[in-house]
Amino acid sequence: MKHYLHGRPQISDPRLSPAAPAGDAAPLASFAAPAALSDIEVVKQGDRVTRLIVTCSCGERIEIECVYPSAG
């Protein structure tokens, strides 16, 4: 599965770069690693995504219902 920012333009602005860790603080990248173990399931009805089911590496499961405006 491609990252959601894949193919989008990158802005190189030093104000947007992560701050350097202070002292003995762990770098921010170490907190992002467990997300790679998450699982995302997409439930479709025809061409529409109706639900996203995110299962964390810790076992927690979150269901996101996708609601579209009614045609009218």
Whether residue 59 is contained in a domain is answered as yes
In terms of Cβ atoms closer than 10 Å to its own Cβ (0-12, 13-18, 19+), residue 65 is: exposed
CA-wise closest residue to 68 among 39, 47, 53: 47
Structural domain of 47:
39-65
The string of pLDDT tens digits covering residues 14-45 is 666 666 655 555 554 444 455 457 888 999 99
**Looking at the 3D structure of the chain, how many domains does it have?**
1
Whether residue 70 is contained in a domain is answered as no
Whether residue 55 is contained in a domain is answered as yes
Whether residue 57 is contained in a domain is answered as yes
Q: Residues 6 or more apart from 54 whose CB is under 8 A from it?
A: 38, 39, 40, 41, 61, 62, 63, 64
Whether this model's pTM surpasses 0.75: no
Whether residue 21 is contained in a domain is answered as no
Under 8 Å between Cβ of 36 and 23 = no
